[in-house]
Amino acid sequence: MAASLDDRVTEILKEAGLCRPDNAFFELADSVKQVDLEPALEIGCGWQRITRTFMFTTLQSLGVLAKQFTDNEEEPPRSVLGAYQTAHQVIGDDLANAANEFAVAAPKGADGIHYVWWADTIVRPLLERGNGSADAAAKAAAPGIEALVANMRRLGESPLGAAVELRVVEAIALDIASTGSTRTSRPRLRTPAR
């Protein structure tokens, strides 16, 4: 069954165009030379919301699975325990920067939780450049983000939800890491004159 779940996730990602070279977002992003403040804020606020939801719904799902472990007298299979262990490692990176790459760069304590770190280093400076406009936060509730957050919340209620969320994130992250970007420079942020 694990292989069929894995195959289905891969199929869904390909159908959605979330893998390179068919990922229209990355294709377009590589061509961008400049980003206006408002879209930068929308992306920043939306990403913060998605990463926050991912972290908490994955933890929620792990709790559902842990409850099943405590309610059942039988020992869980080691393959399930291994998956549980992996999920904790991944979420450990989001929560406590367990991976060395994060440990050396992230702020210490709660400020280093990934979505908080993102808010402090990306969203807040963008808000300050836009005179504190919070309109982007409301726009981050775009239909696509709302649908994704709703699906993640449903997955949080399932003992398999963490496995599905982690598999999707892994597939996209590995795809990005393995193919890299052709971009040689970052886009500039265009801000309105004050």
pTM of the model: 0.78
Which one has a higher pLDDT value, 175 or 74? 74
Which has the minimum average pLDDT: 37-41, 134-138, 159-163, 171-175? 134-138
Answer whether 101's CB lies under 8 Å from 177's CB. Answer: no
Q: Report percent pLDDT > 70 for the chain.
A: 77
Per residue in 118-138, pLDDT (tens digit) is 999 999 998 888 766 666 565
Q: Which helix (H) or strand (E) holds 188?
A: strand 188-190
**Res. 103: pLDDT tops 80:** yes
pLDDT of residue 112: 93
Q: Domain map of the chain by residue range?
A: 38-183
Which one has a higher pLDDT value, 22 or 45? 45
Interatomic CA distance for residues 123 and 135, integer angstroms: 12
Interatomic CA distance for residues 10 and 15, integer angstroms: 9
